[in-house]
Amino acid sequence: MTGAGFPRAGAPPWAVRGRDQPGRELALGVLLGCVASAVWLLWAGVLPHWRLEGPIVALVLLGFARPLPVQAGLLVPLCLTAAWMSVIPISWPFLAAGIAFFLSNLVARTEAVSHFDLAHAGFALVAMAAGGAVLVLQHGLLVTGGMLSGSVAFLAAVWAGWSAWCRLNAIVIRRGGSDDVPPALSRSLVP
């Protein structure tokens, strides 16, 4: 696309490229996730008995979101909203576990798993743990006094995050150690 008298002379000199791109995509994912969360909350306002169907929407969104940093960014507000809206605290960490494994499966299917992918997946897992922490604060310790259920919920979130993290690590080690390293991965490993 060119404008009258102002054709573009190459790429903008300052453009965010290469290493900085995941940060921008992560930010985009967070923004999209916030708007999706707002829509979900509106939905919950109209149909309060159907508000737990939000996770289905979340999973669909995650399934379509590309690339991985956008998915990770999406997870942050969606998990926080999920935790915030929960009425049965124990159920949400299992949702978080489901999303974590869903995410790790997506990663396993991609052609390249770079350190950036791994870092952002880790970030997503931290977001889930944060969701669990909010859940404990809101529904476990402060409000209902359900110390036991809150603690179990939090432990489950940590367990889910840790499992997914180990799985991702295993994928990276396996691919990095094989002879046929995908080109994108080998690029990411070059300092």
Using CB under 8 A, list all residues that contact another protein. 2-9, 12-16, 20, 23-24, 27-28, 31-32, 34-35, 37-39, 41-43, 45-46, 48, 80-81, 84, 137-138, 142-143
Smallest gap from residue 122 Cβ to another protein (A): 12
In 3D, which of 31, 40, 84, 87 has the Cα closest to residue 59?
A: 40
Smallest gap from residue 165 Cβ to another protein (A): 18
**Integer angstrom CA distances of residue 85 from 36, 137, 140, 149:** 14, 13, 13, 16
3-state secondary structure 142-169: CCCCCHHHHHHHHHHHHHHHHHHHHHHH
Q: Identify which of residues 30 and 103 has a Cβ nearer to another protein in the complex.
A: 30
Smallest gap from residue 98 Cβ to another protein (A): 22
Q: Identify which of residues 84 and 101 has a Cβ nearer to another protein in the complex.
A: 84
Smallest gap from residue 157 Cβ to another protein (A): 19
Q: Identify which of residues 16 and 148 has a Cβ nearer to another protein in the complex.
A: 16
Q: Identify which of residues 75 and 167 has a Cβ nearer to another protein in the complex.
A: 75
Which DSSP symbol is given to 100? H
Distance separating alpha carbons of residues 167 and 157, to the nearest angstrom: 16
Both tokens of 58, joined, read 């979340």
